[in-house]
Chains A and B, each alone.
Chain A
Amino acid sequence: MESDILVQAASRLEPLMAAPKAGIIKDSIVSQISAYLYYNSHVMAEVMKNQGFKNKFNSIIYNQVEKDFGLYIDAKARINPRSLHHVYEWDRVGEQGARLFKLNKLDSESLSFKVLYDFLPSKSFAKGENRRHVFVNKASVMEAGMPLKIAPRFAERLVFESNGYTVFMPKGASVTVRRPGGPGVKNAFKMAYAHFFSSNLINESIKRSGFQRIFNSSISKALKLPADIKRVKYTFSPNGLRAQAKVAVASAFGA
């Protein structure tokens, strides 16, 4: 991990923070500068390990990304309803409350997370005059472009409208829909998702999250030097500085 490398590098400063041997002219500059660098290195290493910082990083950025992605897909769906109608409830394309998709955050050990998506089950009745059927997996089936076989379950035969005509199917016969949702829906959401997360839109979203501002103010607070490093001293305790760094990070970012 990066924090371990930083701590290892900073450990080379420890001998310089000790009091010089007898006979050498006493000068606090070397030990003070070493203590300053040692403290800052440990603050940065602590930040990378700090759970409070990780939580803030994950939640602030993810919440903004989730919001912006949803709004982007809503606007895109309103402009391109034929491509994205399947990820909304029937006749409610582009409505926030009718979305059939949801982003998920997958946390990782390091300071990063993955964003995946899921399709939600549809709850509204499918289109048509006799709206009695709920096409639960509408979004996932249409997105995958899976052909559908529709067969009568309780009725004797299928009756439906096609191009203005009422079609009566033979008793028990089924119908296969090769492209449910139309020709434009297959992988349309996946492409929009890929575009959002590979284009400048994701960068804009991260910027908009305000995380940078929060990070800057917290890190400035954590990096504020403890009073005793500013004082003329010939010896600094590595353990003491490490503990001070830990406390400063916990106070700035939360435990």
Chain B
Amino acid sequence: MSLAAAFMLVLFLAAGAIGVPIGFAMIVSGFAYLLVTGRDIGLVAAQGINGLFSSFILLAVPLFIFAAEVMTASSISTRLLRFVALIVGRVRGGLAYVNIIVSIIFAGMSGSALADAAGPGKLMIDMMTRENRYPRAFAGALTAASATIGPIIPPSIPMVIYGAISGTSIGALFLAGIVPGLLMGLVLSIQTFIVARRQDFPVEETFTLPEARVTSIRAFPPLLLPAILLGGIYSGAVTPTEAAAVAALYAIILAVMYRDMTWRTMWQTLLASARGTAIVAITVVGALFFNYVVAGEQIPNMVANWIASMSLSPLAFLLVTAALFLVLGAIFDTLLMLLVMVPILLPSVHALGIDPVHFGVVIIVNMMIGLITPPYGELLFLISGISRIPLGEMIREIWSFIFTLVIALLLIILFPQLVLFIPQAAGY
């Protein structure tokens, strides 16, 4: 590694550490590198902007963000909630299972954990804490934990970004997330089953038959969306980017049909989508140039040689990476880890013969657990903010959920076939 590259890394770390937005810190330290080495300043734009402009895959990001914003602004979540409550409400701790199942269904329509928490998550907490039926800290922590399923079951914004920077097929990644996502739902349900008996959680009241019919009919159109998306991607009929457009269009049609959309909410939805897109994409622009320098300086190969010198088995490598990402995830933002760590580790992944699809799913599950790990757990902040459940109470409750999700993570590390058999069956 050259001195100039070391200077760039130090400048990036220093700027990042004092709170400069990560995307700006990457662009600025990249410029500083070019100034010091006397190379063409235009390389930042040539790498970063051109990467954004010419990547058909990255266009899926704004479309999935838009779809999620439309769903959050509509009554889709309410309809799903009522329907699932109808089916599983009658068991002990019914609403807790509803929370998990709605997260799974919503995960099949949106690609963001934060959207899941802000949409159905908020409604779930309101329902669970009404008349103090469930402890509020449990309700908040469960909502955070189940929201992590959002980007595991397709569609998924982190998978789009991982695919774009690693050159892995998005279709394969999407299909690979199905079983791990369901597995996360299963382990959370087992935990709920145990806690519900111990703490004697309430059971929901019965529905009358006409009520059940109305609720089912109302939930039917939103329930079609995951089926359309999965079918389209599995059969290869649409690309993930086109699936994103279809998801957004379908969500808008439903929102207009249900009279959830006024011109004013439409404006707000578009503005929020543009804002969310700019936040993600400017970081990607910075990272595209940053990683161009990092790769040019042979840093990933140095890391690969260093890892090879330890002669780790693929399994040991995955376990060490998972432990590393759990620690980093407690402190750093998902996007930062995805954009900085993945390019550095990829050559090692290839050298060890690990399937990049398997690796991608493992680290994305890892990073989602990071979203609920204190001290820097964005999902905890978001849920505390929208539900007014004190952060401290939720943090005490979240550790058992983290433990449970780590079990699911270990299972998908130990059994790659859990991840890979669906994409293989689809011919990837």
The judgment on whether A and B are partners is no
Instruction: Report which B residues bind A (CB closer than 8 A).
Output: none
